[in-house]
């Protein structure tokens, strides 16, 4: 019995250790089946079938489509979803889509169609019957948002409400906030005096645990934007939460959210296609540049992105960069991306802790303390003094933090890790043993 208890404790410790040493990284999914090259499509995650649903977008010829595709995430097989009978939405791109858990359906609204036509219609697609039903007819009438594309919105499944901000209309860019009640099929104007500036092609996420919608970046009359705003959904009041240090301005990036006020952006379009990744922590209003590792998807814009909390992974598809893409990538262990805060208590001074475990194979961790707000860089060097990896490079608030290093691509030997800021530098030694 004592040996059995010891074995159980060893297994439990191993599980905890594996979870602690989980490393975030990109990998390309080897998918089969057929899907066309798409950009500016909409995407949702359908938990009932563990699949990603991609709808509409622009094809390789740049033409709007109204095709629907499903990626089975158990088998990684793409298939076309047959839309059975009845009315079907017009082809479109830069529209918004949401999953409604109450009716196991997808809801879409707005977008741009053939010949530059704009839409403000709302549709629901039932996954039980593979049929569409229209919730709001297309048309510019009073007491409803005018037709538009490039808007950003979220859906609250409990209240059954869509909340949307801004977009490009026949009258130019707007800065209005609207809600659509799926149950009563009515619009309400929630625009207030203090609100984000006019824009289109921005991104939005639903911070469901905080009761907020967050919008990021986009394009205005003068060019690209780099600001981030939160909207309290109980009152529809806006708050500018843009910090001094922030990612380069962009639009058409993928944006996901996970509980605790964490927002991840990847790629987008600025002076060209991008493939950088950043993390925003709403609690501290700080952006952190994420060092992604050796394997990164090619730079792109107009790609789709979803986050699956139960699997803690982000999946992106398609877009455009140096070429048109129809590839699918996943980023696993999303919740351990970047530098993890351990304590917000202000330390008396800066310090860099010894890595643990040490020796290690192939993952190790170390903690560091920051006494003043400022720029912090953490890097790894080989025995010759050559810098081989940057683990952190960001403005940070005072506190205690932890970062991990995965040395799977490096041989056994002695390595050094270095922490540097404006007023502090320290280097320590670690040993990789395979």
SS3 call for 421:
strand
| Domain boundaries for CATH 2.120.10.80 within the chain | 24-336
> Is it the case that residue 263 has pLDDT exceeding 70?
yes
Measure the CA–CA gap between 134 and 311, rounded to whole angstroms.
Answer: 33
Measure the CA–CA gap between 167 and 200, rounded to whole angstroms.
Answer: 4
Residue matched to tokens 């003068």: 222
> Is it the case that residue 4 has pLDDT exceeding 70?
no
> Is it the case that residue 108 has pLDDT exceeding 70?
yes
CATH fold of 342-432 reads Immunoglobulin-like (2.60.40)
Residue 171, token pair as written in the block:
């009258």
Question: Cα torsion at 174, 176, 177, 183 (round to 10°)?
Answer: -80
Closest CA to 166 of 179, 182, 178: 178
- What is the domain class of 24-336 according to CATH? mainly beta
**pLDDT band (50, 70, 90) for residue 179:** very high
Give the pLDDT of residue 23. Answer: 64
Rounded to two decimals, the pTM is 0.82
Give, for 77, the enclosing helix (H) or strand (E): strand 77-80
CB 122 within 8 A of CB 131: no
Give, for 269, the enclosing helix (H) or strand (E): strand 262-269
Q: What digits encode the pLDDT tens for the residues 71-89?
A: 999 999 999 999 998 899 9
The average confidence (pLDDT) of the chain is 92
Q: What digits encode the pLDDT tens for the residues 360-380?
A: 998 899 999 999 888 899 999
Residue matched to tokens 């999303």: 334
Measure the CA–CA gap between 202 and 334, rounded to whole angstroms.
Answer: 22
Q: What is the mean pLDDT of residues 322-331?
A: 96
> Is it the case that residue 243 has pLDDT exceeding 70?
yes
Question: What one-character DSSP code corresponds to residue 346?
Answer: P
CB 65 within 8 A of CB 58: yes
CB 14 within 8 A of CB 6: no
| Domain boundaries for CATH 2.60.40.1930 within the chain | 342-432
Measure the CA–CA gap between 243 and 280, rounded to whole angstroms.
Answer: 10
Measure the CA–CA gap between 108 and 95, rounded to whole angstroms.
Answer: 7
Residue matched to tokens 């499903």: 70
What pairs with residue 134 in β-bridges? 123
Residue 251, token pair as written in the block:
């639009």
Measure the CA–CA gap between 69 and 92, rounded to whole angstroms.
Answer: 15
Tell me the percentage of the chain whose pLDDT exceeds 90: 80
Give, for 12, the enclosing helix (H) or strand (E): helix 2-20
109 or 334, higher pLDDT: 109
Sign of the C-alpha dihedral computed for residues 283, 296, 325 and 127 taken in this order: negative
70 to each of 13, 26, 116, how far by Cα in Å? 39, 21, 27
Q: What is the mean pLDDT of residues 177-200?
A: 98
Pairing of strands 304-308, 313-317: antiparallel
> Is it the case that residue 14 has pLDDT exceeding 70?
no
């Amino acid at each position: 019995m004592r040996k059995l208890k010891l074995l159980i404790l060893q297994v439990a410790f191993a599980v905890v250790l594996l979870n602690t040493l989980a490393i975030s990284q990109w990998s390309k999914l080897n998918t089969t089946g057929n899907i066309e090259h798409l950009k500016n499509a909409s995407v949702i995650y359908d938990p009932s079938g563990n699949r990603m649903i991609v709808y509409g977008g622009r094809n390789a010829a740049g033409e709007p489509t109204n095709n629907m595709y499903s990626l089975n995430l158990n088998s990684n097989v793409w298939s076309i979803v047959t839309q059975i009978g009845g009315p079907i939405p017009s082809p479109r791109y830069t529209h918004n889509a949401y999953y409604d858990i109450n009716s196991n359906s997808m809801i879409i609204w707005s977008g741009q169609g053939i010949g530059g036509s704009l839409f403000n219609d709302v549709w629901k697609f039932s996954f039980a019957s593979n049929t569409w039903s229209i919730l709001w007819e297309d048309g510019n009438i009073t007491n409803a948002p005018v037709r538009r594309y490039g808007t950003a919105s979220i859906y609250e499944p409990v209240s059954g409400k869509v909340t949307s901000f801004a977009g490009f209309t026949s009258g130019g860019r707007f800065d209005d906030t609207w809600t659509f009640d799926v149950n009563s099929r009515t619009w309400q104007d929630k625009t207030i005096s203090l609100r984000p500036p006019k824009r289109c092609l921005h991104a939005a996420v639903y911070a469901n645990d905080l009761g907020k919608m967050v919008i990021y970046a986009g394009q205005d009359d003068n060019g690209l934007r780099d600001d981030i705003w939160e909207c309290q959904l109980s009152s529809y009041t806006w708050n500018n939460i843009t910090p001094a240090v922030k990612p380069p301005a962009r639009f058409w990036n993928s944006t996901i959210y996970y509980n605790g006020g964490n927002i991840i952006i990847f790629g987008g379009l600025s002076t060209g296609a991008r493939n950088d990744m950043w993390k925003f922590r709403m609690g501290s209003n700080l952006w952190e540049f994420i060092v992604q590792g050796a394997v990164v998807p090619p730079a792109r814009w107009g790609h789709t992105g979803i986050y699956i909390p139960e699997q803690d992974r982000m999946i992106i598809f398609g877009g455009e960069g140096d070429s048109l893409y129809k590839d699918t990538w996943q980023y696993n262990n999303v919740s351990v991306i970047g530098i993890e805060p351990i304590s917000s208590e202000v330390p008396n001074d800066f310090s860099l802790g010894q890595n643990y475990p040490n020796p290690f194979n192939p993952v190790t961790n170390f903690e560091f303390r920051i006494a003043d707000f400022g720029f912090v860089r953490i890097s790894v060097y080989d025995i010759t003094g050559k810098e081989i990896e940057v683990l952190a490079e960001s403005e940070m608030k005072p506190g205690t933090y932890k970062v991990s290093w995965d040395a799977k691509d490096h041989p056994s030997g002695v390595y050094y890790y270095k922490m540097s800021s404006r007023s502090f530098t320290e280097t320590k030694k670690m040993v990789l043993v395979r």
